[in-house]
Structure 1
Amino acid sequence: MDFAFCRADAGYRGLKPMSDTSRMTTLHGKNIFFIGLLLAASGIVSPPVALAVGILFGFTVEHPFPAESSSLAKLLLQLSVIALGFGMNLKQVIHAGRSGFLYTAISITAAMAVGLLFGKVFRVAGKSSFLITAGTAICGGSAIAAIAPINNASEEEISVSMGTVFLLNSVALLIFPAIGHGLHLSQNQFGLWAALAIHDTSSVVGAAAKYGNQALAIGTTVKLARALWIVPVSLLTAAFMARHRSTSETTQGSVKIKIPWFILFFCLAAAVNTYLPQFVSAYGILSHLGRTGLTATLFLIGTSLSKRTLQQVGIRPFLQGVALWILVAGISLFVIDRGYISI
């Protein structure tokens, strides 16, 4: 009788009753989602693996919590960026970046301009194009994580951008040491090249560590100095977004700049780590939480990508990222090998 009532009620409301198979599928989807999230937040898996697991989930399982996952990903993304600031020492970063400041400014500006041009050539949507360009020009996933909330990128756009960057990171981790040895690059040369041409700091550390201790020291400090450019690029992005909104609005009134407060807290965290060293053990914990939080965020972002969204996006963003990366890596290697820049 109850089942008949449910069927009648469902028919009255124009709804179909949920079958036992649908309930089991939903339950399995929830269990898999929570297991994947806990695994990503545990620190056991690396960020690329977490993103890959999330994408696999999105391709094979219907997302049980799409709205909640989206909200959590945005909040966790910003908190993770702030926590990562406790792992940066401003004195070391500024010292390493002082000699190459001019080249860094020119290279980032040129990479941003060329990347956006490639985005137009490959007809990549504006936000995805900008995220891939910023990730390649500055510091990969960290730049994407910082800028995405500012330009209101969707989870699909973030996922495609992150996926492109992390795939190229994996390739660089494998082939860069072999190229360095083949060209007989010195420890300093390879460390500098890795910092300029590999997207993420973690992959720079991995590739440079394979090459030697001196390459590791140079690569890490130069990459951290380059990472500071997240701040001005984020602020310029916020100003541009505000200007774009003001020109598109039909009603009169002032338009406020959406200040990326989490970027300012990121800088504050780095300053605290530098000038209050007595709490270094706590900073290490916070920095580790930032890395694990970013890993969990990547899983959440990956779950938003499905066959449907991938078909909508296509292969063009990946081609844009590959073309820009090859250009940046090639030019950086040429100027370093010729001795035009050194450290």
Structure 2
Amino acid sequence: MNTTIKAYAPGILLAVVIASAAKWIESLMGQGFISASVIALFIGILLHTIRRPDPEFQKGIRFSSKMLLKFAIILLGASLNITTILQVGRISLFVMLFTLTACFGVGYFVGKAFGLNWKMSNLISAGTGICGGSAIAAIAPVIEAEDRDIAFAMSATFIFDMVMIVLFPLLGSWLGMSDTAYGLWAGTAVNDTSSVVAAGYGFSERAGDFAVMVKLTRTLAIIPTVLIFSAVQFHQTRKRSKTGRIAVKVSSIVPYFIGLFLVMACLNSLGLIPTSIASLLKSISKFCMVTALAAIGLNTSFKEMKQEGAAPMLHGFIISLLVVLVALLAIRMQLATGMFA
């Protein structure tokens, strides 16, 4: 037991230190400017570039990048309330149906045109279409994505979020949008939660409140998305097998951590998890996710990322622009029908 702890401790401790530093830097920068997850990822990549971690760190780093990521997703379920859909209603669901369809549909062809592997392409689309880092973190283990794929997807999501934080309030005012319409637009088209907060409240308090509510509903899209990708991964695994047949198990289609994630979400929706406990679990989930992304950064070579060229970032730009435009078009359609003011 002591030998096992000694083998894993150095790598885990290094990831935790980076995560703690990232959280501190995030607090200095102010709400919504840049998330700790992105900061931790970039610090990890920078340290790897300066000097690759010694072998004694590798076991702990691998554990942090894989197991802690799954643990973070399980705990994330405790902060999701399926009944949120009913609170926000059909207004946001109508827009999300358009954006998600466009995001994954067009994203598939854009990824193929740029020669990206399907895992990286879909992680970028998921991060852009659903909810940034949380969606990427949830889907990555299901499709067995490489750390480099995760790093690219996170980077693409982060870069365009930074642009949206500045431009969205200005565009909303220029377009003469109401608080509700703008909140729906920001909550649907901006990716990371912290960025939604910054872009939403940058317009008005009412718009910010509604944007956050829409974002929570959008986060629930993780549930069907991971189930779909679990089935896709199962199909890919069966195709690679020599016989073309593998035993069908529930765990093959719905990984254990996704099952537990769903259990936690259901328990919270039924009111069986006290608010204080749900808040604590969400905080732990966030820190575990930041730690996992620090480890992913430590495993990611900047030289290898450079070899991929500008294609992943261009993919992210196209999909981000698509989501912004499709969401705006869908909202205009709702305004035309008098669905909301």
Q: Would the aligned equivalents of 2:82 and 2:220 in 1 still touch at CA under 8 Å?
A: no
1:203 is matched with 195
Match runs of 1:5-84 below 5 Å: 35-40=17-22, 46-64=36-54, 65-84=57-76
* 3-state SS in 2 of match to 1:50: helix
Q: Which among 172, 182, 189 is matched to residue 181 of structure 2?
A: 189
How big is the shift at 1:263?
2.3
2:82 is matched with 90
Range with greater deviation from structure 2 (287-296 or 330-339): 330-339
Range with greater deviation from structure 2 (248-257 or 313-322): 248-257
In structure 1, stretches of 5+ residues that fail to align are 1-28
2:322 is matched with 327
Q: Residues 301-325 of structure 1: CA distance to partner in whole angstroms, max 9, x if unpaired?
A: 1222223221332221111000111
How big is the shift at 1:336?
2.1
* 3-state SS in 1 of match to 2:323: helix
1:151 is matched with 143
Q: Residues 120-149 of structure 1: CA distance to partner in whole angstroms, max 9, x if unpaired?
A: 122112211111011112111111111100
Distance in 2, Cα, partners of 1:296 & 1:317: 24
Q: Would the aligned equivalents of 1:187 and 1:212 in 2 still touch at CA under 8 Å?
A: yes
How big is the shift at 1:53?
1.5
2:156 is matched with 164
How big is the shift at 1:88?
2.3
Distance in 1, Cα, partners of 2:130 & 2:13: 37
Distance in 2, Cα, partners of 1:333 & 1:215: 15
Distance in 2, Cα, partners of 1:51 & 1:255: 37
Match runs of 1:224-243 below 5 Å: 224-243=216-235
Q: Residues 47-90 of structure 1: CA distance to partner in whole angstroms, max 9, x if unpaired?
A: 22222212221222212223431222111111111222222233
In structure 2, what residue type is equivalent to 1:197?
A
The total of aligned residue pairs comes to: 315
Q: Summarize the Cα distance change of 1:205–1:62 in structure 2 as closer, same or farther, 3 Å threshold.
A: same
* 3-state SS in 2 of match to 1:148: helix
Match runs of 1:304-315 below 5 Å: 304-315=299-310
TM-score (norm 1): 0.83
TM-score (norm 2): 0.84
Distance in 2, Cα, partners of 1:275 & 1:66: 41
Match runs of 1:253-264 below 5 Å: 253-256=245-248, 257-264=252-259
Q: Would the aligned equivalents of 1:135 and 1:143 in 2 still touch at CA under 8 Å?
A: yes
Distance in 1, Cα, partners of 2:37 & 2:138: 16
Match runs of 1:291-310 below 5 Å: 291-310=286-305
Q: Would the aligned equivalents of 1:242 and 1:258 in 2 still touch at CA under 8 Å?
A: yes
2:102 is matched with 110
How big is the shift at 1:213?
2.0
In structure 2, what residue type is equivalent to 1:279?
P
Distance in 1, Cα, partners of 2:229 & 2:325: 27
Distance in 2, Cα, partners of 1:215 & 1:293: 30
Q: Would the aligned equivalents of 2:15 and 2:61 in 1 still touch at CA under 8 Å?
A: no
Distance in 2, Cα, partners of 1:102 & 1:187: 18
Distance in 2, Cα, partners of 1:288 & 1:71: 20
Q: Summarize the Cα distance change of 1:40–1:317 in structure 2 as closer, same or farther, 3 Å threshold.
A: same
In structure 2, stretches of 5+ residues that fail to align are 1-10, 28-35
Q: Would the aligned equivalents of 1:245 and 1:255 in 2 still touch at CA under 8 Å?
A: no
Q: Residues 89-120 of structure 1: CA distance to partner in whole angstroms, max 9, x if unpaired?
A: 33233331434434423431221010111111
Q: Residues 31-54 of structure 1: CA distance to partner in whole angstroms, max 9, x if unpaired?
A: 976642443477965222222212
Distance in 2, Cα, partners of 1:96 & 1:73: 34
Q: Would the aligned equivalents of 1:93 and 1:221 in 2 still touch at CA under 8 Å?
A: no
2:121 is matched with 129
How big is the shift at 1:264?
2.7
The structure whose Rg is larger is 1
Q: Would the aligned equivalents of 1:150 and 1:238 in 2 still touch at CA under 8 Å?
A: yes
Q: Summarize the Cα distance change of 1:278–1:33 in structure 2 as closer, same or farther, 3 Å threshold.
A: closer
Distance in 2, Cα, partners of 1:246 & 1:305: 29
Q: Summarize the Cα distance change of 1:75–1:278 in structure 2 as closer, same or farther, 3 Å threshold.
A: closer
2:277 corresponds to 1:282 = yes
Distance in 1, Cα, partners of 2:15 & 2:235: 39
Distance in 2, Cα, partners of 1:243 & 1:182: 47
Q: Would the aligned equivalents of 2:95 and 2:330 in 1 still touch at CA under 8 Å?
A: no
Q: Would the aligned equivalents of 1:205 and 1:216 in 2 still touch at CA under 8 Å?
A: yes
Range with greater deviation from structure 2 (41-50 or 220-229): 41-50
